[in-house]
Amino acid sequence: MERMNIAILGCGTVGGGVARIILDMNNELNNRANATIQLKKIVELSPKTAAKRFDIPMEYFCGNGNDLSKNEASAYITKLIADPDIDLIVETIGGKGDFVHQTCIDIVKAGKHLVTANKALLAERGSDIFNMADKKEVKIGFEAAVCGAIPIIKTIKENLTGDKILSISGIMNGTSNYILSQMQNENLEFDTALKLAQESGYAEADPTLDINGGDAGHKLILLIKLAYGIDVSMDDLSMIGIQDIKKEDIEFAKEIDAKIKLICYAKKVNGDIYATVRPMMVKNSNFLSNVNGATNAVRLNNKYSGIHILVGKGAGSSETAMSIVSDIVFIARYGKKISNTAQKQERNFADARQFVFPYIITFHTADMPGTTGFITTAIGKQNINIDTVSHNRHNDDKALFSVATMPSTLEKIESAIEEIKRERPGMLLSEPKIMPILY
């Protein structure tokens, strides 16, 4: 049997889980990989804490089990990268800073395979890491970077190679889904649901990346790279978070038989790729509307095999660690036969404002006669057909209502809103909220 010697950088929630699985399942992993997988060394600043938490023998830690300074840890990492006896390195340090970025480049440059769950790094600064890996003919495993335990990366890379992916839609951030589920099921305001998510361990003390769409955006960028062969930057990806969702939005969703979800969406249309991350009103006939709590789900619509839906936990120590170990086994077994990403394609990443969706627009206006008629007429002037108009909510001298349209571009809807502002200054008391409707 060939040997695959492993080093792990970082032994926190994920890295410790990886070490524990390798030690617990060594015989099974060796049989599945048709190779001897052996954990050699771990670099961790606080090895005693990690060893106790994950029941890992101290012999595996660099520095004889003593706590390490950052400089000492960096020196051990450099030594492991240069060690010819190490074949694959697992990066679980996290972050997208210069140190981690350069470390990953150095790993693949040294001819070693890299496995990581670091979605932010790969989405925002991954191009040169992938390019170096291809140049050195080593592999990058990143199944754990997108939706934790859900095997979406291998599904796209391996299982659907005989098909064409027409569209990707999914709930790829458990924190935002938990918050929206609580708002809809328990009739909570956003701030209350966020606090509950933090108290329950689903949201960090700083939940910014979860609620503003950034975390989901990283995952969608990686799936676009795999499915369509193009690189998309975070600056180019249209993203809106859930922080402005209110009870009234939940009520309007119920009126059209839908639920609000933070959706990652990408679609190929005549060679152009459209993509966005934003709250959508998902019709109850769509499976994604019934995915609640911190669960993730990805829906693939394919040309030949139709719709596939993958559902599971998108985070967690053992779940994410399992995906990393799966990549280790896969690399050990298939090695150079694996492709890191799809072949690059000359495709246009189109303006999301040109993509066609049915939309729902929520208007907060002065309560004046003729308001609804004027607004619907302005929308109609843009050749947008209207599906339904909600019940009007009156509060003193203010009114709140929504308009659901037939399929249109966001650009046309924005033009209608600009005309309303121009023709009736002061009619709109706040910027209208626009959400796609997903069937």
User: What burial letters (b/e) apply to 249-259, b meaning 16+ CB within 10 Å?
Assistant: bbbbbeebebb
How many other CB atoms sit within 10 Å of the CB of residue 345?
11
Residue 186 region by backbone torsions, left for phi larger than 0, else alpha for psi between -120 and 50, else beta: alpha
**End-to-end alpha carbon distance in the chain:** 51
Burial class, 176, CB count within 10 angstroms (exposed 0-12 / middle 13-18 / buried 19+): buried
- Comparing CA positions, the residue from 314, 122, 146 lying closest to residue 232 is 122
CA dist 176 and 164 (Å) reads 30
- CA count, 13 A, side-chain hemisphere, 315: 22
Identify the CA nearest to 152 among candidates 266, 273, 290, 277.
266
Q: Which two tokens stand for residue 316?
A: 């967690």
Angle in degrees, CA 195, 148, 83, rounded to 5: 120
112 catalytic? Reply is no
Choice among 139, 219, 225, 313 that is catalytic = 219
Query: Which residues are tagged catalytic?
Result: 219
